[in-house]
Structure 1
């Protein structure tokens, strides 16, 4: 994962206020208001945030939406497919109708809309949980390595180097293939996090080393503040912008990882809905039923693209000094 050069706090000359106090000089409310105004002025960001909000709401209210549509993600509608054509959906667009809003799954007749909204639960749930676990681990390890230095820094840095050099995808495939199918989503979160935290931890470590050499940290030490106080009152608040940008950019990567592993058949186990699993199933039907391939692919692409646009815009604001 590339580290934006603009995140180098030592190179920032406009953080004088932060150097004196250890925290941003603007009140949090004013900072959030200015950030929202900057983001609202960008049409691409507004559209991206809107789509992310739609997906999140669909995932949260999936049971209600499925109840409104009338078909659950595991129900079969044999009347919606033609057995004489190998289970091809009847009607236009893969069986799109008032009864099946996005058509039906070829071969089984399961409702595509129901599986899409429940698949959103899997994609967002795994990605957000993995991001939360990865960020927590990375912040703890990065702060320990950067603040204490010495043997602590050496050990943590060598662990990070090992995990970053390891072929993560191959290991994920091997481990998940050998593990039981129970609690597969939790296992996905754990495996993704094990290989995800070193990238952010390395950034946190570098920023922590830089910050601990600043005047406001030296002043805190001279005043008798302990290490815990310095880390949480002086260092961690100045890592806020870095963490926001890096975690926002990490989410689409984890969404794609979950989809890819499910596509390979070692992620979410059927019949649990997953966008990657739906795309894998549709690969044998796209010539005769392209809608079934297009719908989950479009949903996945737009979600990853939206998070990428949002994270890139936040990175731009950070590089320009507008997000502090």
Structure 2
């Protein structure tokens, strides 16, 4: 998967995906009907269950690690064989009752503990970047679409400027030049910097259409201020669009964080990160494939779950079943 916000452009641009365009243009479904349709959708439910498990794992990481008995930073030299190149002792990378997912070759750190704390990094970066991107994209898209003129020109030029950059290359350059302190905060800010224009572009297009509707004209005629029209009349009608777009953005940001960590400019060791673990596992794959497979599987399933959930929500919002 391409781990840049640019990949959202394919799915987020009206006209590029007829299914998405139809779902964004559809009126919002009844919340109760949408929930019933969602609960009948097996892929959506299974994806939601896995996502909730990862979120709970991230939130309860200290408790879970305490139960497992190993810190993600603790070395267990007795679990690796120094005479065999420091590979884990035992089958499947040292999987045992003591080390549930085995240990890291070379260091002996518990993989389960590092997976649990790595979930904190992935979810924190992805959800925080989605929240910040959502706020910037929605507010700036609303302003550009509603006020038009000079405001629209300035915001649109900024969007085009940021979208013209090869995002991944500039993320690597920016993160390489910045100090390693508060790396998670920096990741969120850098990812959001290049991510918000894609949502803002969709919101702007929807706002341009909505502001010509009769209910907006009625509100304007009744003396409502611009702020009241934007946030009380137009914004509620963008709810479905925002939900679909933000849900589809999360897997891209998870992949972006993992990719940056894999390339060495993301989370700084010894802080656990799934992407960082995959990068470290590359040199050990021939002798200990489990060290690569375990974090890779968690990352793959999380991205797949968010992608599937976003696709199913998009389908349900735009389907006749959800509106019936």
> Common fold, TM-score beyond 0.5?
yes
State the match for 2:97 in structure 1: 98
User: What is aligned with 2:245?
Assistant: 246
**Deviation digits for residues 275-319 of structure 1, max 9, x if unmatched?**
000000000011110111000000000000000000001111223
Contact kept in structure 1, 2:23 and 2:317, CA below 8 Å: no
Name segments (4+ residues, structure 1) moved above 6 Å.
none
Q: Do the aligned residues in 2 keep the contact of 1:176 with 1:267 (CA within 8 Å)?
A: yes
| Cα distance in 1 for residues equivalent to 2:305 and 2:184 | 23
Maintained 8 Å contact 1:126/1:188: yes
TM-score (norm 2): 0.92
Aligned equivalents of 1:271, 1:43: Cα separation in 2: 38
Counterparts of 1:305-316 in structure 2 under 5 Å?
A: 305-316=304-315
C-alpha distance in structure 2 between counterparts of 1:83 and 1:145, whole Å: 63
C-alpha contact 1:60 1:121 (8 A) present in aligned 2:
yes
Partner of 1:284: 283
Does the 8 Å CA contact 1:75/1:110 hold for their aligned counterparts? yes
C-alpha deviations, 1:200-239, integer Å up to 9, x for none? 0000000000000101101111111111111111100000
- Higher RCO (CA 8 Å, separation ≥ 6 residues): 2
Gaps of 5+ in 2: 1-8
1:304 counterpart residue number: 303
Query: For residues 316 and 271 of structure 1, what CA distance do their matches in structure 2 show?
Result: 41
Displacement after TM superposition at 1:35 (Å): 1.8
TM-score normalized by the length of structure 1: 0.92
| 8 Å Cα contact 1:45-1:310 kept in structure 2 | yes
Task: Output the CA distance in 2 between the equivalents of 1:82 and 1:137.
Answer: 52
Aligned match of 2:211? 212
Verify: 1:256 aligned to 2:246, yes or no: no
RMSD over aligned CA atoms reads 1.7
Number of residue pairs matched? 310
Cα shift at 1:323: 5.6
Deviation at 1:134, TM superposition (A): 0.4
Contact 1:314 1:323 in 2 (8 A): no
Contact 2:37–2:322 (CA under 8 A) maintained in structure 1:
no
User: What's the CA shift for 1:10?
Assistant: 11
- Per-residue CA deviation, residues 228-287 of structure 1 (Å, 9 max, x unaligned), is 111111100000000000000000000000000000000000000000000000000111
Taking a change above 3 Å as real, the CA distance of residues 169 and 51 of structure 1, as seen in their structure-2 partners, is same
The aligned residue for residue 21 of structure 1 is: none
Q: Deviations over 1:115-165 (max 9, x none)?
A: 000000000000000000000000110011000000100110011001001
- Which residue of structure 1 lines up, in the alignment, with residue 167 of structure 2? 168
Cα–Cα, structure 1 residues 255 and 149, in superposed 2: closer, same or farther, change >3 Å? same
Checking the alignment, whether the CA contact within 8 Å between 2:24 and 2:318 is kept in structure 1 is no
* Structure 1 position 37, deviation (Å): 1.4
